[in-house]
């Protein structure tokens, strides 16, 4: 029998609904307000009958696709938005970082904004003055604290905002994607602070598309999709379910019949070539053979391309490359490099080419490009290329330095007695 969690409830959400009225034009909103016409709007259900319980000392993640209601639920919990119906109970003082610099006055300097944000949370000037050295040390933006925040870079902005939110000593910390702007060192410092919070028994709720952070830091995860709570459970369980949502294969009734697999594909990809042969379909599968664009670091995955030949191509070359989101090519290969020479492609033939390998890239977001090329005599031909065709999300709970992991094995041996005195 499962042991009951007796910890105090920090946040309780019951039967929460949020409905937005969408008007075709501003005059329709005006007419409805004056009751001059019948219903002139469409209803968008951002949240539908959502229930969740977060206990004191938990670190809880909320994941889901864009538009799933993640940010909306955080804004309702923190009082930024009012629900259409339902009840939210919060036990403890909340510090929230929902949007970059929300609550900052752009004309004030950094220190003035520290006091502004602190008093908004409910602290006295004396309490903030006591915390000020710690906040400024954490933000580490130097003399910029004396400049108007409108002159800050996005990185400095998030440093100061997060320093205030996390050092003001809240009982509950709410974070919505705020860390994606800071550099890797600042993110590491923030996550160390997360761990300190957990040790002190504080509650953390955060929304993130960084599934690696969700996997590493969360005790439990809630999965939302189009305003509906699909489930809650361990990070691994919910990330697996999220991967099914991404490819349209999640079914609450357990029917996992494969859907179209269009999720993760770029609708604005760049393509070109002679089209003597054509890449008809591109998709990836995880180590279980399930279509997915979220791949666990260290696992085996496959890249598939289905190709139709419209004319005879004597020696086709199939290739893929992976680059990061700023455009740096990280890795790639092709059938010629791999010495996987194939027969010629004949008109009317359709072939499926599969590249299978281990995912050793660091956790993060990447883009997959594919190509079908070849030689006609000494002339290089591009039959079909697809640039940035698929998004790849690498899920990791251990990132090393650089682009990929060398999978180092570490041994430590005590050689104290063997060491002589220095010369």
How big is the CA angle at 261 (ends 257 and 263), to the nearest 5 degrees? Answer: 130
Q: Quick check: is 301 in a domain?
A: yes
240 and 275 co-located in one domain: no
Task: Judge if 238 and 275 occupy the same domain.
Answer: no
Contacts made by residues 327-334, CB under 8 angstroms, sequence distance 24+: 330/361, 330/366, 330/403, 330/404, 331/361, 331/404, 332/369, 334/371
pLDDT value at position 261?
A: 41
pLDDT value, residue 3: 62
Q: Check whether residue 225 and residue 276 sit in a common domain.
A: no
Residue closest to 353 by CA, chosen among 247, 405, 279: 279
Residue 149 lies in a domain: yes
Are residue 92 and residue 27 in the same domain, yes or no?
yes
Q: Are residues 295 and 206 both part of a single domain?
A: no
Whichever domain contains 274, its CATH number is 2.70.50.60
CATH number at residue 163: 3.40.50.300
Q: Which letter does DSSP use for residue 336 in this model?
A: T
SS3 228: strand
Q: Return the pLDDT at 341.
A: 76
Q: What is the pTM of this model?
A: 0.64
Largest CA distance in the chain: 96
Number of domains in the chain: 2
Residues 216 and 353 in one domain: no
- Say yes or no: 327 and 209 in one domain: no
How far apart CA 108 and CA 91 sit, in angstroms, is 32
pLDDT confidence of residue 256: 38
Return per-residue pLDDT of the chain as tens, 423 residues: 556 677 899 999 999 999 988 777 776 666 666 666 666 677 889 999 999 999 999 999 999 988 899 989 999 998 889 999 999 999 988 888 776 556 788 899 999 999 988 887 778 889 899 999 999 998 889 999 999 999 988 778 888 888 888 887 788 999 887 665 556 677 778 778 888 888 888 999 989 877 777 887 889 999 999 999 999 999 888 887 887 787 565 665 444 333 334 556 777 778 889 999 999 999 999 998 989 888 999 999 999 999 999 999 999 999 999 998 877 889 999 999 999 877 899 999 999 999 999 999 998 889 999 999 999 888 899 999 998 999 998 988 788 888 888 888 887 888 887 655 555
Q: Do 128 and 193 have their domain in common? A: yes
Confirm whether 262 is domain-assigned.
no
d(CA 44, CA 284): 33
Do 232 and 222 meet the contact criterion of CB atoms below 8 Å apart? yes
Give which of 156, 155, 129 is closest to 144, Cα–Cα.
Answer: 156
245: buried, middle or exposed (CB in 10 Å: 19+, 13-18, 0-12)? buried
CA distance 311 to 345: 8
- The verdict on 236 and 326 lying in the same domain is no
Please state the φ and ψ torsions of residue 14, each to the nearest 5 degrees. Answer: -130, 125
pLDDT for 260: 38
**Cα-based distances in Å from 88 to 74, 108, 229:** 11, 33, 16
* Same-domain pairing of 142 and 59: yes
Whether 315 and 353 have beta carbons less than 8 Å apart is answered as no
What is the spatial distance between Cα 316 and Cα 5, in angstroms, rounded to a whole number?
60
- Do 200 and 136 have their domain in common? yes
Cα 10 to Cα 35, 84, 313, 356, 392: the distances in Å are 41, 22, 65, 46, 35
Which residue shows structure tokens 């955080």? 74
The DSSP output letter for 416 is G
- φ/ψ (deg, to 5) at 358: -95, 140
Q: Kindly state whether residue 194 falls inside one of the protein's structural domains.
A: yes
Domain that holds residue 366: 270-395
381 shares a domain with 240: no
Question: What is the structure's pLDDT at 34?
Answer: 65
- Position 6 scores a pLDDT of 74
């Amino acid at each position: 029998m499962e042991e009951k969690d007796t910890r105090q409830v920090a946040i309780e959400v019951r039967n929460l609904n949020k409905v937005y009225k969408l008007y075709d034009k501003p005059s329709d909103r005006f007419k409805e307000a004056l009751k001059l016409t019948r219903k002139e709007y469409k209803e968008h259900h951002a949240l539908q009958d959502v229930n969740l319980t977060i206990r004191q000392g938990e670190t809880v993640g909320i994941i889901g696709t864009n538009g799933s209601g993640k940010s909306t639920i955080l804004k309702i919990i923190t009082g930024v938005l009012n629900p259409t119906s339902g009840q939210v109970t919060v036990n403890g003082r909340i510090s929230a970082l929902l949007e970059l610099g929300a609550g900052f006055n752009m004309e004030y300097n950094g220190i003035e904004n520290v006091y502004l944000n602190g008093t908004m949370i409910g602290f006295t000037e004396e309490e903030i003055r006591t915390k000020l050295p710690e906040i400024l040390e954490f933000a580490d933006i130097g003399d910029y604290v004396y400049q108007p925040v409108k002159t800050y870079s996005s990185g400095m902005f998030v440093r100061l905002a997060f320093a205030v939110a996390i050092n003001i000593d809240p009982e509950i910390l709410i974070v919505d994607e705020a860390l994606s702007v800071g550099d890797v060192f600042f993110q590491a410092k923030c996550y160390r602070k997360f761990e300190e919070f957990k040790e002190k028994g504080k509650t953390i709720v955060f929304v993130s598309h960084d599934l690696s952070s969700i996997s590493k830091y969360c005790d439990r995860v809630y999965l939302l999709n189009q305003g509906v709570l699909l489930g809650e459970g361990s990070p691994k369980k919910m990330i697996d379910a999220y991967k099914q949502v991404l490819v349209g294969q999640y079914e609450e009734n357990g029917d996992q019949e494969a859907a179209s697999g269009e999720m993760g594909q770029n609708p604005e990809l760049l393509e070109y070539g002679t089209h003597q042969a054509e890449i008809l379909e591109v998709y990836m599968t995880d180590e279980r053979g399930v279509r997915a664009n979220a791949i666990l670091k260290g696992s085996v995955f496959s890249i598939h391309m289905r190709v139709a030949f419209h004319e005879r191509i004597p020696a086709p070359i199939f290739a893929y490359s992976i680059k990061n989101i700023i455009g740096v090519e990280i890795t790639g290969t092709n059938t010629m490099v791999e010495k996987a020479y194939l027969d010629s492609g004949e008109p009317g033939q359709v072939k499926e080419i599969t590249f299978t390998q281990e995912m050793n890239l660091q956790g993060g977001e990447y883009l997959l490009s594919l190509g079908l090329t070849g030689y006609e005599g000494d002339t290089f031909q591009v039959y079909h290329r697809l640039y940035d065709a698929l998004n790849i999300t690498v899920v990791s709970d251990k990132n090393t330095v650089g682009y990929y992991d060398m999978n180092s094995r570490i041994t430590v041996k005590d050689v104290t007695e063997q060491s002589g005195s220095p010369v």
